[in-house]
Amino acid sequence: MDAFIDLDWSSKAANKPFKTCFPHERLFQGETDGSSFPNGGLRVTHSAAAFTTWDRSSPPVVIDGVLRIPCSFVTHYGKCIDDKTPLLRSADAVQREGLRLLKALGIGTDAKALYGYLGWEQEFFVVKAEHYRARPDLVNCGRTLIGALPARNQQADLNYFAPVPTSVSTLLFNVQAKMLSLGVPMAVLHNEVAPAQHEMSPIYCQATFSSDNNVLFMEVCTIEAEKLGLMVLFHEKPFAGINGSGKHANWSVGTDTGLNFFYPGKTDEARLLFVTGIACLAYGLCQHNELVRCAVAHAGNDHRLGAQEAPPAIISLYPGTGFEAHVDAIIKGGELLGYKAEKKKQGTGCAASMDVEANVEDRNRTAPFPFCGNRFEFRAVGSSQNCSFPVMICNTIMASGMAHMAGLLEKGTSHRDAVAQVFKQNRHV
């Protein structure tokens, strides 16, 4: 935290008075210690210079009279020691390779920018603060190490569909109001599957500042809970025998003109882009699978993944059974436009309620990387994680797939054959 004051050096007094000033140099760039926190060994203790510089892709916010400016954080030698800078670099990569691919396809060539988008679903547990303080294991480890299983776990639907407890409802509405005052509209709040587990989600936006919004949300949630005598637990597996908490990352890639690489659309152009986009993603997930697993590999997730819940501790792509059949047809020589993705009417079987409009593919809530109609949901992200690193990996592998596809097209491979080749080589993912 920095105050905009300085000494008045124009004064002739030996003891200079201070004055309020607004030096732009300190606003756009700052210097701080870059060694006294975990940074993977990029900085040794005696090499401490590190600099902050304003991230212009993410809006600043004012909290309790303090202007908070999103920043990149790099060392004296330009190495990033934060989570934000790699995300910004990946955003540049996916834009560069995405525009290159669009040019090679001859689709959406009027686009000037391309972005990764993110909508996170933050899960967490809420307990009374007095109960939390009575458990040294929760206080020190974030999870219980000993104890008996609860009398009622999650065998019934009573948790997800039950009314939100009054104290928790007050907390969630307070958080919603506070986040709205900070420019972050929270669209959804509800119970989750496990007892005392809940979730909040914002409106979808660009990934670079959606990640900032999530960090802000976790801070606001903790502060508002303390005011009510509650404690929010963001650990991935605070209690044995019931679901843990994730931060499902709903991620997509699109242009400034409205093209979405993961939306089937109603035109041939949109459908061609959709098939090509999934081919690029399949390439990235297959060729860089270990990077995607590294993006969610940490101690909390070691307890969560595959334990009383989904997804399993692997990374695989689920585009839907219908689209998988279309992929197999393309590999065998079929056309790219054979996939019909129109929504369908589904009757309820009773006169009192209207028919529902269903997506062409069912929703798979157990897969680690399922298709959700206009985006893919990276379900393996842990609830305590910063979104920036997993989304950075998603952007990066997508950029890799786009670069590979563009390279095939630029060498003269037909669009159909290029997509078929990529699907054939990466079908097993």
Per-residue confidence (pLDDT) for residue 9, from 0 to 100: 83
Per-residue confidence (pLDDT) for residue 39, from 0 to 100: 63
Per-residue confidence (pLDDT) for residue 164, from 0 to 100: 93
Q: Which of 27, 51, 82 is the last residue of a domain?
A: 82
Whether the predicted pLDDT of 341 surpasses 80: no
Task: Note whether 23 and 112 are same-domain residues.
Answer: no
Q: What domain range includes position 25?
A: 5-82
pLDDT in tens, 207-224: 999 999 999 999 999 999
Tell me the mean pLDDT in the region 288-295. Answer: 95
CATH code assigned at 180 = 3.30.590.10
Banded pLDDT at 308 (limits 50, 70, 90): low
Distance CA 169, CA 189 (A): 9
In the predicted model, what is the mean pLDDT of the chain? 91
Task: Note whether 372 and 416 are same-domain residues.
Answer: yes
Per-residue confidence (pLDDT) for residue 169, from 0 to 100: 97
Task: Note whether 91 and 78 are same-domain residues.
Answer: no
Per-residue confidence (pLDDT) for residue 45, from 0 to 100: 74
User: Nearest Cα to 104, choosing from 421, 414, 415, 409?
Assistant: 409
148 or 182, higher pLDDT: 182
Whether the predicted pLDDT of 159 surpasses 90: no
Task: Note whether 48 and 178 are same-domain residues.
Answer: no
Banded pLDDT at 339 (limits 50, 70, 90): confident
* Number of domains into which the chain is organized: 2
Length of the chain: 429
Please state, as a whole number, how many other Cβ atoms lie within 10 Å of the Cβ of residue 39. Answer: 17
Task: Note whether 131 and 232 are same-domain residues.
Answer: yes
Task: Note whether 32 and 141 are same-domain residues.
Answer: no
Q: Which of 65, 82, 99 is the last residue of a domain?
A: 82
Per-residue confidence (pLDDT) for residue 141, from 0 to 100: 95
CB 243 within 8 A of CB 308: yes
Whether the predicted pLDDT of 1 surpasses 70: no
Per-residue confidence (pLDDT) for residue 340, from 0 to 100: 79
pLDDT in tens, 48-80: 888 999 999 999 999 988 899 999 999 888 888
Task: Note whether 70 and 120 are same-domain residues.
Answer: no
For 260, half-sphere exposure in the C-beta direction (CA atoms, 13 angstrom radius) is 14
pTM to 2 decimals? 0.93
Task: Note whether 72 and 128 are same-domain residues.
Answer: no
Task: Note whether 115 and 78 are same-domain residues.
Answer: no
Task: Note whether 163 and 111 are same-domain residues.
Answer: yes
Among 132-141, 226-235, 276-285, 349-358, name the one with the lowest average pLDDT.
349-358
Whether the predicted pLDDT of 396 surpasses 90: yes
CA distances from 357 to 228, 321, 344 (A): 41, 19, 6
Task: Note whether 78 and 181 are same-domain residues.
Answer: no
Please give the single-letter amino acid code of residue 423: F
Banded pLDDT at 324 (limits 50, 70, 90): very high
35 or 414, higher pLDDT: 414
Distance CA 118, CA 253 (A): 9
Per-residue confidence (pLDDT) for residue 156, from 0 to 100: 64
Q: What angle do CA 102, 105, 108 make, to 5 degrees?
A: 45
Distance CA 260, CA 240 (A): 40
Phi first, then psi, for residue 369 (nearest 5°) are: -145, 65
Query: What SS3 class is residue 89?
Result: helix
Q: Which two tokens stand for residue 312?
A: 């399993």
β-pairing, 71-75 vs 49-54, is antiparallel
Per-residue confidence (pLDDT) for residue 307, from 0 to 100: 63
Distance CA 320, CA 341 (A): 11
pLDDT in tens, 96-138: 999 999 999 999 999 999 999 999 999 999 999 999 999 999 9
What DSSP assignment string belongs to 175-217? HHHHHHHTT--EEEEEE-SSTTEEEEEE--EEHHHHHHHHHHH
Whether the predicted pLDDT of 243 surpasses 90: no
pLDDT in tens, 20-43: 887 777 788 888 877 776 666 666
> Residue 344: which residues within 8 A CB-CB, separation 6 or more?
357, 358, 360
Task: Note whether 94 and 75 are same-domain residues.
Answer: no
Tell me the mean pLDDT in the region 219-247. Answer: 95
Per-residue confidence (pLDDT) for residue 48, from 0 to 100: 81
> Residue 405: which residues within 8 A CB-CB, separation 6 or more?
101, 104, 276, 279, 280, 283, 418, 419, 422
Q: Which of 40, 58, 82 is the last residue of a domain?
A: 82
Distance CA 375, CA 396 (A): 16
